[in-house]
Chains A and B, each alone.
Chain A
Amino acid sequence: MRPWPLVPALILAVFTATAGSMPAEPERGVTEATLDNGLRVLVLEDHRSPIVSIQVWYRVGSRNERPGATGLAHFLEHMMFKGTPTHGKGEFARLVEQNGGTDNAFTSHDVTSYYASIAADKADMVLRLEADRMRSLLLDPKEIDSERQVVMEERRTRTEDDPDGLLSEEMLSLAFKAHPYRWPIIGWMEDIRRINPPELRAFYDLYYTPNNALLVVVGAVKAPALLQRVKELFGPIPRGPNPPPVTAVEPPQIDQRRLLVKKTDAQLPIVYITWHVPNYTSPDAAALDLLSTILSEGRASRLYRKLVYEQRVALNAGGDYSYFSHDPNVFWMYATPLPGQAPEALEQALLAEIERVKAEPVPEEELARAKNQIEASFVWRQDSVHARGSTLARFELIGSWRLMDRFLPMIRAVTAADLQRVARTYFPADRKNVATLVPAESSPPPSR
């Protein structure tokens, strides 16, 4: 999906609490249900516009893959539009468009999400299509081969020919040794080229089951009637096997890691720095989220103010934290130097800001601003039914949509001392990952 924020790998990857936003107050009036076959369902009525957002989230992403078959989850996402015995290839999109709707899907490290927005009185049609493709995908080998070419084109666009995409892929492979976050969501080119129909079928059978899915509906619908239809349409689908747990745990980083990519046709260098940090399960997660806001949200944020505005060394600079990541992930810092500035100097400037957070308490006004920004972003998120739905889903996927109630109080409770402690704990100078891309004059990498 577009437009992309600045670090492409993260976009397909994980929603962040600060860059996105969530409702200011806990959502009222969510109707929830778990069908006998295990399907989780959340319905929220919103009658401001005669439209509805329908989202099916499968708890499967690139973290569920294995080396040698990377990109399976994403490849399968493409195949979900290639037909069932009832609705031939392309029929899903055709029916949605014919009824004035739009739909799309994305794959991340942790989940695969399918979403449609459409006139509320067409909700039934989309639910029927989603129930159909949950269990009845054709996965025709001929279609798989044709879509393989499309996925390879997608990889060329997003990774091979995009300096940010390329460098973020390299960074994750550097930062993770044991955990599946080390390989790209779209998969390595050789794996995309090789993946075969039986593998896609097995992956589909294992993960595309009602007990591994979450259905969220937000819009101008009547919740009881809608829930009844969901039961009729999805209820007959049998429960599937329990997917195997992902057991890989990233060992603590004990070293400093560094890589350099020389890329032809790049115009300016890029610098990324990451550290391993905990996810939402940690009491420190709220502080990390605030820290990312303080560093990078807006022109008053530290990285913009210092690196772009005062020191004039960077074209852009920021940071990113994935609160909702299923497994512990990394905290990112990134910057692009202005022409004539060395990437090494920029790296030092980024690190100096981390050291400053460790050394000096963040002033009260700055802390208050970051909290206000996060709270306001909650309110803004209510403006769209799609955003309301995906916010419910994000919280449900980490345990329950009700966790939303606790998020803002946790943010409000963070103190300047917490920020300092968290920065000292998680950003050690000798256990970081640094990835730099510099423009190369010639000699392109071997064609992939």
Chain B
Amino acid sequence: MRYLPLVLTLFAISVVTDVAAAPLGRREVLPNAMRLLVAERPAIPIVVVRLFVRAGSAYDPSDTPGLANLTAELLTRGTARRTGPQLDQAIEFVGGSLEATASRDGVTVSLNVLKKDLELGLDLLAEVILTPTFPEDELKRKVAEIQASLRRSEENPEVVAGREMTKLLYPNHPYGHPVPGTIESVGQLTREQVVGFHRRHYRPDMAVVAVVGDVTVDAIRQGLGRRFAGWTAPAEAPVQIPPAPENPPVEQRTIKRDLTQATVLLGRPGVRQVHPDYFRLIVANYILGGGSASQLYTRVREERGFAYFVHSNLSPGRYGASYIVSLQTRLDAVDEAVRLVKEEMVSLGKGSVPAGALDLAKSFLIGSLPLRLDTSGKVADFLINIEENGLGLDYPDRFRTEVAKVTAADVERVSARYLAPATFSSVIVRK
């Protein structure tokens, strides 16, 4: 099979558009300042609800990495009305799911239910957001689980390399530490800290709810309004996160692992979705290492057989963005594979965009938009992305227009600026 990397999905969120003439969704602001986005998809009797709160690992106090993640993980482990196992049983009895996960920017609580069970689902959703109890024994369990997962992730060279690269790209910035924290830092976290983090950061003015499926705007506004009316923002101002550094020092790191293959990451800061170069860079990126017609795929994989996996990716967040090229290859091919990658970067920056590559990249990015909105979950993620990054509900149209405008000269210019090999740090995990 041709490897479709995980990272593509991150990118996918940023490039979606409307699938039909009808608007993608409706936006409203509830009286408590919580933003609501609804997309009606009545054909199948299911409902996806994603409640996003700006309370991800970027908000971890610097001395407690992992606090946001632990808080998120504990939301479903006990509320004023139900214990963790009772919550599990209630949602799973109706074949649904309720999960809370933290990322850098936020926490997403995801509810998947059949339409007939929506009332129960919303009850549970409101409970875990508003009245989690963070029981001490559940905290101990979760800490042990996170620590074991962190330890196990040391087996995965992509994760090991990714963590190191993140550290290099975001020095002295909250994006620099792993979302789950470290084995040591998680072990220090206390219930008081979790309760305090929840009180401070879980506030309606920092929350977005996206609802997609067999619902109407009126019904869902009422259903959420009733349950979340009492949720009000604390008087203190929300915490502000500084933007990530634009020019972190370029560094080279090698991490020793006893594996048969080497994992190579080359990375540097990228640009956010609101940056004027964003559309140009995603086009340049697609040409470099986006798909299976890309330069890296063609030269490193197809022509030389050096790698099964070679890819480049721009991943924008709310406070910063990274641009990363990654590949895995046999130990004796590392130098040559890296040389090829850099050669392609330089070549794009000198304006030698291969014939047809620009058109292909643009037609793919524009033409594949409907595919990136083909399930209810993808639509919900998209709605949250455009709301949180201030892109506006007209973003799909703008995306199409802006990508169409990108010229060969634009690709040359952004490549020279963002793909210059000397500006990339490298992390290699190898024997």
Contacts and interface: CB of A to CB of B under 8 A. Distances in A.
A97 B292 contact: yes
B95 A375 contact: yes
A101 interface: yes
Interface stretch (B86-94, B127-135, B228-236, B417-425): B86-94
Interface stretch (A148-156, A175-183, A322-330): A148-156
B19 A49 contact: yes
A384 B374 contact: yes
B151 A268 contact: yes
A365 interface: yes
B261 A369 contact: no
Interface stretch (A157-165, A202-210, A251-259, A399-407): A157-165
Contacts of A315: 145, 148-149, 152
A201 interface: no
B2 interface: yes
Contacts of B85: 299-300, 305, 309
B305 interface: yes
A312 B301 contact: no
Nearest to B364: A97
B44 A383 contact: yes
Contact of B95 (A90, A160, A312, A377): A377
Interface stretch (A102-110, A274-282, A416-424, A426-434): A102-110
B374 A385 contact: yes
A153 B375 contact: no
B370 A51 contact: yes
B298 A146 contact: no
A68 B82 CA distance: 58
A100 B19 contact: no
Contacts of A299: 84-85, 88, 92
A369 B92 contact: yes
Interface in A66-124: 77-78, 81, 89-90, 93-94, 97-102, 104-107, 117-119
B390 to A, nearest CB: 27
A241 interface: no
A104 to B, nearest CB: 6
Given A49-B370, A146-B303, A369-B89, A107 B1 contact: yes
B363 to A, nearest CB: 5
A265 interface: yes
B364 A100 contact: yes
Contacts of A28: none
A150 B88 CA distance: 43
Interface string B137-163: 000010011011101101101000000
B6 A2 contact: yes
Nearest to A439: B155
A268 B2 contact: no
A102 B372 CA distance: 10
Contacts of B367: 99-101, 119
Given A48-B41, A373-B92, A380-B46, A163 B370 contact: no
A29 interface: no
Nearest to B298: A90
B61 interface: no
B308 interface: yes
Contacts of A145: 305
B120 interface: no
B302 interface: yes
B169 interface: no
Given A157-B308, A161-B261, A383-B376, A100 B95 contact: no
Give chain B's interface secondary structure class.
mixed
A385 B19 CA distance: 14
A382 interface: yes
B141 A309 contact: yes
Interface stretch (B50-58, B173-181, B199-207, B252-260): B252-260
B288 to A, nearest CB: 14
Contacts of B217: none
Contacts of B6: 2-3
Contacts of B257: 265
A411 to B, nearest CB: 12
Contacts of B298: 90
Contacts of A2: 3-6
A120 to B, nearest CB: 9
A24 to B, nearest CB: 8
Nearest to A382: B44
A154 B306 CA distance: 10
Interface string A276-302: 000000000000000000000111110
Interface in A350-402: 365, 368-369, 372-377, 379-380, 382-386
Interface string B11-51: 00000000110000000000000000000010111100000
A297 B89 CA distance: 11
A267 interface: yes
B371 A51 contact: yes
Given A265-B155, A315-B148, A148 B19 contact: no
A447 interface: yes
Contacts of A93: 2, 291-293
A195 to B, nearest CB: 14
Nearest to B2: A104
Given A157-B309, A368-B93, A97 B291 contact: yes
A339 interface: yes
Nearest to A122: B367
Contact of B260 (A90, A156, A372): A156
Contact of A1 (B1, B305, B364, B377): B1
A379 B375 contact: no
Contact of B368 (A49, A77, A100, A382): A100
Given A146-B305, A153-B306, A266 B155 contact: yes
Interface in A224-253: none
Contacts of A382: 44
A55 interface: no
Given A49-B19, A99-B367, A105-B1, A148 B309 contact: no
A444 B141 contact: no
6 contacts: A49-B20, A90-B292, A163-B155, A338-B144, A386-B374, A447-B260
Given A90-B298, A118-B371, A160-B259, 20 more contacts: A90-B292, A90-B302, A94-B360, A98-B359, A99-B367, A105-B1, A106-B1, A107-B1, A119-B370, A146-B303, A153-B309, A156-B330, A265-B257, A308-B145, A315-B149, A336-B148, A368-B93, A376-B96, A377-B95, A380-B112
Interface of A: 1-3, 48-51, 77-78, 81, 89-90, 93-94, 97-102, 104-107, 117-119, 145-154, 156-157, 160-163, 264-268, 297-301, 305, 308-309, 312, 315, 336, 338-339, 365, 368-369, 372-377, 379-380, 382-386, 442, 444, 447-448
User: What 4 A-B pairs have minimum CB-CB distances, sorted nearest first?
Assistant: A100-B367, A376-B95, A149-B305, A154-B308
